[in-house]
Structure 1
Amino acid sequence: MDGTATRSFPQTIHFTGSNLPRRMEISVRDLAVEGTIPPEIDGAFFRAVPDNAHPPMYDDDIALNADGMIARFDIRGGTVDFDIRYVETDRYRAEKTARRALFGRYRNPFTDDPSVAGMDRTVANTTPVWHAGRLFMTKEDGLGHEINPHSLRTIGKWSYGGALRSPTFTAHPRIDDATGELFFFGYEAGGLCSTDVAYCIADRNGELVSEQWFQQPYCATIHDFVITGRYAIFPIFPTTADLDRLKAGGAHWAHRQDLESWIGIMPRYGKVEEMRWIKGPVGVSAFHEVNAFDDGDLVHIDICLTHTNAFPFMREAGGIHIAQQEVRGALTRWTIDMASADPRIEERPIGPPGDLPRIADSDQGRPYNHAWYVSMNPNGGPPMPGGPVGANFNCLIRLKTGNGHVELLGLPPGAAISEPVHVPSARAGHDGWLLSVVDIPVDPDPARQVPGEYRSELWVIDAGDVAAGPVARVRTGMALRSQVHGTWVSRARLDNSVLRPD
C-alpha cells in the first residue's frame, strides 16, 4: 500500500481482539466492586495504553505505533474511579488538527507525510514513571512527557530543565527505593540508528546529576536494563536497526539470529570508560529483565529470555519465519564473576517462560525472594487475540527465586491478563498485593467467543497467594484496549506531588 491515509482500520491482529481501537477519553466514578479492597490499597494505578486516534497510513502498521493514552484507577476507601486520556504529544496534536494520520511506519520518519518532516515522532505509549513527585509517560524513541497525576493533562516534554542532552529516554528506568535515585538511559542518542547510548542518574529530588555517553557494539533495541548496589548493566540483544533499510521504507528493527548478544557492565557511579563488554549467546532475545543483584564478586541478572525475538514483525524483518508458539524461552539467570580477568556468562533457567515481570520496589537491585510475571497457561485453551505479539497472556505466576517454586493463577478460556503492579503491605511478613487488569470474554463458551467481545476488570490479588484468585474484582463494564506497562503510586505520594489538581 502507498503512504496515503486509509479511511478505516486494517483487519489485522494489531487492530482486532484486545487491540481493537477504542479512542475514548472518559471518566467513570464509583465502579462496581465485588469483594473487599484492602484498606491499605490507597492510591492510583496508572497504565500506559496504546490506542490509535486515527486509522494508520499503512495497513501493516503495528500496535506499538499507536498513540499513547494514560489511564488511571484511583482507589480510595474501597471505591474506584477510572479515567483515561490521550498523551498530547507533538505527533498527536498534529494529527488531531489534520484529522488523519501523518506519521508512517513504526519509527521510520522516511515514510511520513512531508508536512511533519522533522517533527518529534514519539507517541509516549509504553510506561508511566513516577519519580520525585512527578508522573511521566515514556517511550524509548523520545523524551518522557510530564502528566498531571490528578487531571491526566499533558504538561509537555521533560528534559530536566534543558540539562538532558539525550533526545531519548528509556521506557524502563530503575529506581533505587532506598536512595530515591532514578537510573536511566537513552539509546540512539546520537540520532537515528546511531550506536550512542546516554547513561544518566537523577537524584531523589529529581535533579539530573550525571549524563555519560558510550557506544554499544551495534545499534540494538535496548528496551530495559538493570542496576545492582555496585553496577549498571546493559544487556544487548541482536535486534538491529539499519539506516539504509529505513530510507528504503523498511522496518526499524530486524532480528539477527546469527549475531551474538552482549552484556555491558560498569560501576553504577563510575565512568563509562570502565565499561566491560562480555559476549553472550548467539541469536537470543529479551525485552525485560526482572532484577539483578550482587553476590560477592558475582553478579546475577534475571532475564525473560527467548531463543529468538518474541515479536513476529521483528523476526520477519530479519527473515525468520516461525510460528509464535515455537518461540522457546525461560526465566533465566545469567551469572558473571566480576573478579575474573576474562568474565563469562553462566546460564541456568530459574522459572517458566513468561514476561512483564514485577518485583517489590524495595527489592530493586538487591537479593530478592519473589517475582511475579505473566505467562501462557498450557491448560488454559486458546489465548485472547491481541497485544503486541498477537496473543495475550492468560496466567499469572508467582516464583520463589530461591527454590524455583511456582504458583499459578490460570484464567478462564479466552481470557487475558495484563502486567501486574505491586502494592506493598504494612503488615510484617505479608507479601503485599497485586493489581492487574483482566479481560473476560462475554460468552464463556470458547466455541462461541467473538474477538473483541469482552469486559475488563481490575483484579486485586494477594501477592503471597496468587493461586487463590482475586480478593476483589472491580468491574469497568467496558472492553479496555491492551495495556503495555503500569505503575502504582500511593496516596501519600500523590498528595505530595509537585503538580496540584487543576
Structure 2
Amino acid sequence: MTAFPQTIHFIGSNFPRRAEISVRDLEVEGEIPAEIDGAFFRAVPDNAHAPMFEDDIALNADGMVARFNIEGGAVDFDIKWVETERYQAEKTARRALFGRYRNPFTDDPSVAGVDRTVSNTTPVWHAGRLFMTKEDGRGYEINPHTLETAGKWDYYGAMKSETFTAHPRIDAQTGEMFFFGYEAGGLCSDDIAYGIADKDGNLISEQWFKQPYLATIHDFVITEKYAIWPIFPTTANLERLKAGGAHWAHEQDLESWLAIMPRYGKVEEMKWIKGPVGVSVFHEVNAYDDGDLVHIDLCLTDTNAFSFMREAGGIHRDQREIQGALTRWTIDMSKDEPVIEERPLGPPGDLPRLADVDQGRPYNRAWYLSMNPQGGPPMPGGPVGINFNALMRIEPGNGRLTVLGVPPGAAISEPVHVPSSEAGHGGWLLTVVDVPNGPPGAGPPHDYASELWVVLADEIEKGPIAKVKTGLALRSQVHGSWVSRARLDQSKLKG
C-alpha cells in the first residue's frame, strides 16, 4: 500500500505520527510532588511505513519507546523508534516488507529469516536494564538515558527461548524476575519456557513444558509459592498461516486451563486445572496465597475482546455486547483434583495496575481502566479500536470502588504507580489522557491534545493534582513502567 488504511487501527489515537520527538520543559499546570523523580517509560506502537495489507492491525505497528522525564518538578518528553532488525530492514528499503500480524509467510521474500518482532508492548526494567518487549520475540535493550537501542537481549546467550513475555513479574522483596516465552521453540511450537532471573539480572533457571493446545499466553502471575499460567482458547494454526491467514483465532467451544507449579520447583510438579469454556483474559491483576488457597484476579470476558481474533474464529459480535467482569478465581491446592471457584470482584475493564510491593502477595487495592457510559462516544483508537474513558480504583477485599473521570470524548491510558516514602501515603498514579480540542465529533478523531495527569493513588476521585501539557497528539500507548531516579542512576548503560 502507498497510503494508510482508514480503519479503526489507523484513525483516532491510532493515527500514524511517524516522528521521533524531543521536547524540554513541558507546561505544568499545578505542582508535581518532589518525590516524583524519575522516568515514565511508555510503549507506543506506530507505523514507520504504510502497511502491506489494508486489514493490518495496530498491534503490528513498529515499536516506539517514549519517556516523560520528571526532575525537580520539570518535565521533558522524548520518543524514539526501537531499532529492531525489522525496523532497520524497512528503513533501508523505505517501505513495508513484513506482512500480516505474526505471519512470516506473507512477508517480502527479501526479509526471510529477519527477526520479525516490533518490540512494541511493554517497557520492562530489571537489574539496571530497560527492555522493550513483545511476546513474539526476545526483548531489545534500550539506553534509558538516550532511548537508543542497544540490541537484542538473551542473557549473554544463556536464554534458549526464542520469545520473551511482555508481562514478566518482578518480586519487589527478592528482586527476582519471573518470566516465560510461549512458542518458545519457534513459530507455532507448543513449547513454553519458564525463566527466573536473579536480582542482579543473571538467568538462573530456564525450564520448558508443553501447552494443552497452541494458545496465546499474554500474561501470567506468581505468588510466594507458585507460578501460574492461565491459558485461554485463542489458538494458532500453522496451516492457516501458510495459507496467508490469521495467526490467532478464538475457539468459543474450547475450554480454558490453569497451569500451576511451585515457583522454584520443577515443571514435572505442574498441575493442570480445567477452566470455563470460551472465556478470554489478556491481563491478570495479581495472585496470592491464602493458606492452601490460591487467589487469581483476572480481567475476564466471555469471548476474546479483539475483533480480529474473534472474527478469525467465526465469531461476529459487536464490541459493546461483550460481557465481562474483574473476576477472582480461587483454587484449593490441598485437594487431589483442584477446581476453579469463581466470583466477580468489580465492573468489566482491563489494563490493571498494581503497586510493585504487592506483586504476588495479599493486596488491598489496584487500579484498572473501564468505560463510563456517561462519558460520551469513546475516542477511536487503541489496540481494540475503542479507547477507555475511566480509571477505577478497587479494593478487592470489600468491593469499594472509586472512579476518575475524564472530559467528554477523551481517552485514558494505563497508569503507572509511583510510591511515596511517607508512612501512610498511598503514592501517585501517572496516566496520559487524550483530550479533544473541541466538542466530541466536531473535528477529525485525531484532533486532540495529550496530557500527563498526576493523581493521588488512593484518592483518584479528586482528579489530577497536576497536568503536564504536551501540546501533542500522542499515539495510543500499550503499557508503561515507572523507574525512579535512584534506579536510573544505577543503570548499566550510561547517558
| TM-score with structure 1 setting the length | 0.98
Mapped pair 1:340 → 2:335: yes
Q: Which runs of 4+ in 1 moved over 6 A?
A: none
Distance in 2 of aligned mates of 1:41 and 1:447: 35
Mapped pair 1:374 → 2:369: yes
Out of 123, 129, 137, which is 2:132 matched to?
137
Mapped pair 1:471 → 2:465: yes
Distance in 1 of aligned mates of 2:213 and 2:441: 47
Out of 202, 215, 221, which is 1:207 matched to?
202
Distance in 1 of aligned mates of 2:117 and 2:308: 19
Unmatched 5+ residue regions in structure 1?
A: 1-5
> What is the Cα deviation at residue 449 of structure 1?
4.1
| The 10-residue stretch of structure 1 (476-485 or 372-381) with the greater mean CA deviation from structure 2 | 372-381
1:173 counterpart residue number: 168
Distance in 2 of aligned mates of 1:313 and 1:216: 23
Out of 430, 434, 449, which is 2:425 matched to?
430
Q: Which amino acid aligns with 1:276?
A: K
Out of 229, 237, 246, which is 2:241 matched to?
246
Distance in 2 of aligned mates of 1:30 and 1:497: 24
Aligned-residue Cα RMSD (Å) equals: 0.5
Out of 71, 91, 98, which is 1:103 matched to?
98
1:16 counterpart residue number: 11
1:191 counterpart residue number: 186
Out of 443, 446, 450, which is 2:444 matched to?
450
Distance in 2 of aligned mates of 1:417 and 1:281: 31
1:272 counterpart residue number: 267
Instruction: Tell me if structure 2 keeps the 8 A contact 1:414–1:449.
Output: no
1:461 counterpart residue number: 455
Distance in 2 of aligned mates of 1:317 and 1:446: 32
Unmatched 5+ residue regions in structure 2?
A: none
Identity of aligned residues (%): 77
Mapped pair 1:493 → 2:483: no
1:163 counterpart residue number: 158
Structure 2 SS opposite 1:96:
helix
1:372-394 deviation line (CA, Å, top 9, x unaligned): 01100121111000011110000
Distance in 2 of aligned mates of 1:251 and 1:447: 33
Instruction: Tell me if structure 2 keeps the 8 A contact 1:19–1:481.
Output: yes
Out of 225, 232, 236, which is 1:237 matched to?
232
Q: Which amino acid aligns with 1:458?
A: L
Out of 386, 400, 404, which is 1:405 matched to?
400
> What is the Cα deviation at residue 446 of structure 1?
2.6
Q: Which amino acid aligns with 1:473?
A: K
> What is the Cα deviation at residue 447 of structure 1?
4.6
Q: Which amino acid aligns with 2:225?
A: R
Distance in 2 of aligned mates of 1:17 and 1:210: 43
1:3 counterpart residue number: none
Q: Which amino acid aligns with 1:10?
A: P
Distance in 2 of aligned mates of 1:243 and 1:448: 45
Structure 1 SS opposite 2:230:
strand
Q: Which amino acid aligns with 2:488?
A: L
| TM-score with structure 2 setting the length | 1.00
Mapped pair 1:290 → 2:285: yes
1:71 counterpart residue number: 66
1:309 counterpart residue number: 304
Q: Which amino acid aligns with 2:74?
A: T
